[in-house]
Every structure is written in C-alpha cells, then in structure tokens.
Chain A
Amino acid sequence: MDTTAALQGAALKTAPGLRDTLRHVRYVATENPVTLGAFVLFFAFVALAVCGPWLTPYDPLASDTAAALQPPSHAHWFGTDALGRDILSRIMVAARLDFGIAISAVFASFFVGSVLGSIAGFHGGWSDRVIGRISDTIMAFPLFVLAMGIVAALGNTVANIVLATAIINLPFYIRVARAEVNVRRNMGYVEAARLAGNSDLRTLAVHVFPNVLPPMMVQISLNMGWAILNAAGLSFIGLGVRPPDAEWGVMVAEGATYIISGEWWVALFPGAVLMLAVFCFNLLGDGLRDMLDPRMRT
C-alpha cells in the first residue's frame, strides 16, 4: 500500500517534468522549423548508420564488370561505379563508418577536453599554464595539416584517423570547458558544496561540471559536421580508409577521375550525401545554440 502511494507520488512528481520537456520540445520545433528538419534528418542518418548494412539492395562489395559505370536507372538508383558496384548500397554502408569515425573522435575529444579544461579552469596555476600551452601548440598548426601529419606518422589506419581528428578538435573543448568552469568556480553554490565537506574532485564532477554541459553540447554538435568533413578529407587524399571499403570521401575520390569524362554519378551522390550530413549537423548546432544561448545568435 505504502509503495503504491510512493509510486503514485513519484509519478505525480515526474509527470509535470515530462510534460514540461514535451512542451519545450514542441516549442523548439514550432519556433524554428529548420531545426526540426535537421533533427528529423539527423535521426534518419542515425537509422541509416545503424541499419544501413541490412537495407542495401545489393552487396556493396560485389563487383559486376558487365554493369560498370551505369548511369542511375530503376535497377541502380544511384548508378554503378567503375567495378559495377551499386553506389546506393555503398553509400548506405558507408554511413556507419563515417558516423562511427566522427562520433568516436568527437567523444574522445569531448572527454579528454572536459577533463583537461575543467582541471585548468578549476585549479588555475601551473596546471592551467601547462594545459593552455598544449592547446596553443595544437592551434599553432593549420589543423587539417596536423591531422595529415599525425596519420602519416602513426600509420595509415582508421583508428589513427579517429585519433588525429580527436587531437585537432581538443583545443576547442579545452577552451570551452576551461572558460565555463573558471566562471563558476567561485560561485555561491560551489562554495556551499565545498563548505559541506565535498572534496575538490567531487565538487568539480558533481556540482560544477553538469552546469558546463550545455555549452559543451553545442560545441559537440557544431564539431560533429567538421569531424565528418575532416575524416572524409583525409580519406579523399588516400589516408585511413582503404579502397575496397566504402566511405564517402573515398567514393568521391574514386569518382573524381570519371567526372571529367561525364560520369557524374560516381562522385556526385556520395559527395551530396556527405554534404547533407555535414549541413544537418551544422543546422543542428545552430539550433541548439539558439535554444541554449540566445545571446550568441548571429
């Protein structure tokens, strides 16, 4: 009896919270239809990345030289490439790899960047100087060039593309986390948490960091598009993903030789999908920023 009452109480308590969230979502969606569109597109891409390999009409690796370089038709919606592979199938399979690279890179730099930035912002002093110096050194390179150098030095693998992308994005996360933590470290509630006997680490992790998350989320979604572009750029110049595997950048590179002789579909479709994915992330990032911080609207 008691438990049911408690459960009902809990339900009553969470119900308005849920309703508030739904109302907020509806407000955001109706306020800016572009953001809504970006959200829909984003979920479509995620679905493609998760289920892509099971939905393909053809085997993405099966070549069929008899049907090489076919223009888009009813059988092959996006045409076939020089080896007769179905381009639509390859694009669908590639979504997982491209998103995988971008998401793991962005989360790696988010994680490391938050830890380093929080330490720098919370403690100040020499840790701040060392971490600041690290991030300045990374920023002293043109970022894409540094990524090229890292992949070339560490070896030509997908894991190293992820690592390189994570490293070049690191300074942005460090900066955001440092600035946001620094502003909050002497606020009343942080002092209160400290006086209540929380250790520095606990104060930072439980009381300060959750408040830093919203600006970090904006940074993540703005960064995601860039991470995909970067990974595709690296594989376009022949780093990371090896040719038989399908990846949007590699597919554009494979199509590059044919575009001048008029076989536009080989490069156009993967390029357009790549562009759409980056566009979607950028719109999402702008939308999130407007939502969380209207002052930064430009």
Chain B
Amino acid sequence: MLIGNPNTGKSTLFNALAGLRQRVGNFPGVTVEKKLGRMSHEGQTLSLVDLPGTYSLAPRSPDEMVAVDVLLGRRDDVPPPDVVVCIVDASNLERNLYLVSQVLELGLPTVIALNMVDVAGSHGVVVDVQRLSRQLGAPVVPLVASRRRGVAELKAAVAAAIDTRVAPPPSPFPVEFRREVDQLEAALAARRQNGGALPRYLVERLLLDTGGYLEDLVLANGAGDLSARLHDARGRLEQAGCAVPAVEAVSRYGWVSQVVDGTIRRTADRSATFSDRLDRVLTHWFSGTLAFAVMMLAVFSLIFWAADWPMTWIDEGVGALGGWVEGALPAGALRSLLVDGVIAGVGAVVIFLPQILILFCFIAILEDCGYMARAAFLMDRLMSRVGLSGKSFIPLLSSFACAVPGIMATRVIENRRDRLTTILVAPLMSCSARLPVYVILIAAFIPDRSYFFGLLGLRGLTMFAMYLLGVVTAVLVALVLKKTLLRGGTPPFVMELPGYKWPSIRMVLHRMLDRGWAFLRRAGTLIFAVSIVVWAAAYYPRNEAAVEAPFIAQRERLESRLDDSDVSPSQREAYEAELADVENRIASEYQKQSFLGRAGRSIEPAVRPLGWDWRIGCAAIASFPAREVVMSVLGVIYNLGEVDVGDEQGQGNLRERLKAATWDDTGRPVYNIPVALSIMVFFALCAQCAATLAVIKRETNSWAWPVFTFTYMTGLAYLGALVTYQVGMRLMG
C-alpha cells in the first residue's frame, strides 16, 4: 500500500515499482480512483495499491474514509495490507512526518521511502537516514524515484518487512487524551451490536474529528449515547488543556520536532535558491500575472494550431477507412451501418485524440514543474467570487479546447462540492467542436461590417460574444449551484506551493498516454453505442421502392446518356452533376422518411418559436454524439451529400444553400440573422457531446450528474435560443 503527501513523487514511484503492470478502477460509491499494480522482486510478485495523496488520515468525507478503511483492512474489495510504504519528501520532512506519525500508529509493517534526496541536497539539507530510522522504528530507504535510484533497495526493504511483527510506537498524545480514548473504547465495546470492534485508531478519530462524519457513521451502527459521551470527553479534555482538535496537531508536531532534531543537518544556509527567485517573479502581482497570461495564451493557441495537422490526418484516415469499406461491401444496411454509423460516429470522437494528448501533455508539464499551483494561487481571488477556488481555473480553461480533458483535470480539486460544480459548468466553455457551427453561420449571415477603422469586425465580435456567453452563463450557473444543490461555504484554500523542478519526460509521457487511452476506451464505448442508435434512427425505415420510384426514370435516362460514347465533355459534366443531384435528393428523401426525419418533423412545432424548421431540428437531434456532425447532417438534408466541413468548397455550397432555403409551406426564407443567432446560442449552451457526458459519468461515478447536466444545459439552450430569436425578430423585423 502506497501512501504519502501530494507532490512527493508518489506517482513516479508507483510507476517505477509497477512499470506497465497497472490498472485503474474506481471504489464503488465514491469518486476515489483505485490504482492497482504488480511489482516483482526476486521471483516474488507483490500487488501494490496506490492511495490518493493526502496530508492527513482524518476521514471527513466518504472519499477520505476509503483510504482509512483500506489501510485498516476494513474493505471487502481490497485485502488488508501486508506492508505500508509511506513516501516522504526529504526536502520537506517536517510536514511529511505528520502523516507518518498517523500511519505508524496503525501498527502495520511500514517502510519509509525517503524521496527527493537530490532536491534536499541542493537545498543544503542532509538527512541522517540511520538515525531517522531508529527514531521512527521503521526502515528508511533514501530514493530519487524520478531517476530510479534506490528503487531496488526499496523493493528489498518491502519484501523484508512482510510478515514482521511491529510494535505500535509510543503514542504522541498526552496522558489525559489516552485515558479518554481508553474509556471510550471500553464503552463502545460494551455496546457492540454488530460484532467487529472498532479499531483503536478510529476510536481516537471519533474523539478528534469534530466535524462529525465518523460519528454519524458509528451512530448508524447503534452506539446509543455516543454523542453525549464524546461531548463530555471533549469538555474534560479542554479543561485539562488538551482541547480537541488542536491536541492532535500539537502532539504530533511535537513528536516530529523530536524526531527531526539531530536527524537533519543543514550544510548550507537556506539562502535563496533558483526556485525561490523564480517564485518571487512568478507570484509577483505584475510579472506573475503577465507570465500567467502569456502562458495561458500559449497553451490555448498551441492546442488549436498544433492539433490541426494530426486531426486532419485522423480525419482523412477515417474517411479512407470508410471509403475502403464502402468499396468492399455491397450496398445495403450493413455497409451503411459500418460506414455512416460506426466509422463516422466513432471517427468523430477519435478525432479529439490529438487535442486531448496535447492538452494533457501541457497540463502534465505544468503540474510536474510546479507551475499549476501558482496559477491556482493567482486566480483564486476571482474564482472565490463565484464560490469556487483557484484550483478550478485550469480545468475550466482547458475546457475551452475540449471539455473532456478539462473535466478529467478536475481531479486536483479535493473538495467534492467544488469539484462537482466545476465539472457541471465546464461544458459551458465553448469548446473547439462548436467552432465549425459558428464559422459557417457567421460567414453566411453576419454582414462583414467593421467599426473603429476596421479593427473591430462584426463577425469577430459575434464569435467573441458566443464565447463570452458561455463564460457568463457558467458563472451564473456556478453561483446558483452553490446556493442551491451544492450548498456549502467557499472551501478552504490552504494549498502547498511545491518547489519548482524540471518536469520528468517519462512522467509526462506516461500521464499523457494514460489519459489518452482512458479517453479512447471509455468515451469510445459509449459513443460507439450511441452512433449505432443514431444511425439506425436515420436509416430506418427504408422503403426503397416508394422513395426511389419518382426518380427511377430520370436516373435511368441520365445513366444511359452517360454510357453513350459520343457525348461532349461539357455535356458529360452536366449530366454527372445532374445525376449527383438526383442521388442527393434521393438521400434526402430517405432522411425525411426515417425515424430521425419523422422525429424532426414532429418536434417542428416545438422548434418553430426558435425560428427553426424541421431540418434544423433533425440536425440538432442527430448531432448528439458530436456537435460538428450537425453541419454534415444539414448538408445531407439540403441535398449536398456529405459536407466535409474542413473543405472550403463544401462550406461555400452549404452557405449558399442555407441562404436559399425556404420553409416548406410558406416559401419564406428560413434563415436570417435572428435564426442564425438562435442556432449559435443553442449550440453554445447545449450539452451535445456524448463524450463529455460519458466523462462526467466516469468522474462522478453516477448517472445522475450527466443526466442533470444534459437536462439543465439543453433547457438553458432552448430558452436562450428562444429569447434570441424572438427578441431578434422584434429588433430586426
């Protein structure tokens, strides 16, 4: 079992021990990740469990309780640990030893992994390992995990520690406290109703944790007058000068000081290291903010531009695959299912992969080198106005590129309510998939006017307005959530600012690939399923005879004319264009008849107030798996065949068609500025991305939240589009 403070290189150590043999899962009922691995030492294989980084083993929530339960062997899904490896940062020993003090009290065989001795060395700190080991009563192995130094010795120490008997160390607590714990333990044992006695560690915690979480848990198992007892005990302790909860910190840190005395030697004065000087610059109000702005701009732009080339590459690959399948199979349902359903649908998700990889690469680099904490520090003030904390900033910013990695990045937020709020508003940040929608509609319908001597273009402003809309809505929603469902004070922002260091390439790559693979696997399975369903709705029912009948004569005429060899090139071109047109109209007729088409037409009354006709409604439904698909679908419906949105020509034609489109019944043009705006507003606010919802489900471990997100966002989108259209029509007539 691996435990330690955050920022101690625990993940690096885990990778060094387990290599590629790891699995990530979830503990049921909580959002904590279960990370398992296997490590081998001299022929033996040991299984390794990685617990989340924590500063203390005080369970105040179900998530924190999991770590404690796992260590105490009280969980059914994880066997009780044979050895606990506690990783500590040598350059930061005092605070790290607080956790060690708690871990040692559990009475399990423990090995201390003293990591980052190189960093400590550069700060002029030398640790007397032998003496530390004596003081702690446990083996101490110095390491530099990022360079794989000391890992073999650690494995040996762990193997040696299995099956050893360990005497719990002398308790750091004062006598009065220990007496109260004894009394409490006796009282609980006497009233034991469910068999299993409560471990002493938890009895201690009952007394210490004034928040009451553990108390409620134990009361649920029937312990009668527990609350009264605790209240009395605490009162007595306060009288004796050992007020709870301070007594724990005071006692433990008192112990820490004793241990550290003589064990740490400072060879150099702790003068300003490079790390310090860098920090002065980066947290200074002016230079820090400037550096921050530049950094954010760089990350953001790079995601857009650098992802472009591999994305096009994947897109073409997917297209080629589709083309190959199309050529290889006879026309019919199976071919269509594969090409238009599976390949197109899953392809639309896979195309996100380069963005995800790049984004996570950056995040991993920034996190590893220590900059992330500074960014949170700088943005905290703004964030707390909205009821969040600085740690939400990076995930929300990432969501501008793609909400999927942004939501995955919320793991750094410890507070559950905070994290949930961030996850729920992240999809409102206009992600890159909305871009094609904005681009086409703006180019088609927003006039190319500019103000201020050409500096402020109306089109650019509209685009900016759409992004701004997302941000403003997110702020409002966050505020509302904080006041209603996720009520609770602004969480504490007590955060460590770790020292700067060079990011380890291995670590960055590993994290990048790990997340990328997780994305592909999890979102991909859901997308696959959804694509098939949407395809089926768009394909069936397929009454070939009825649909093609009116066109058969025309098609045969054209085909026979084309077979005729003495036809001039220009005439041939004209015939081919006409034939293509016929095929497209057939495709569009099929669409109209399909379930999807019928659904679109049946909701037409609902979307009319938005200024939409059935085709737009249909496209909105069909683009549920991935937003960009809406343009392709519109293309098909408007008789163009598949409009590849990356293709300039395709865009141009769709633009013309949209301008020319008219209502079926009245013949008035469908599209005008208010309609275009209402479509854009809808897409800015709606939750149409199955990949995002899939990630939300994974990160919150429940179906309720993705459903909630979908409902509230679609509701907002509908309202927004409605208001936009109605107001727009009044203003522009």
Bound pair (A, B): no
A contact set with B: CB distance below 8 Å = none
B contact set with A: CB distance below 8 Å = none
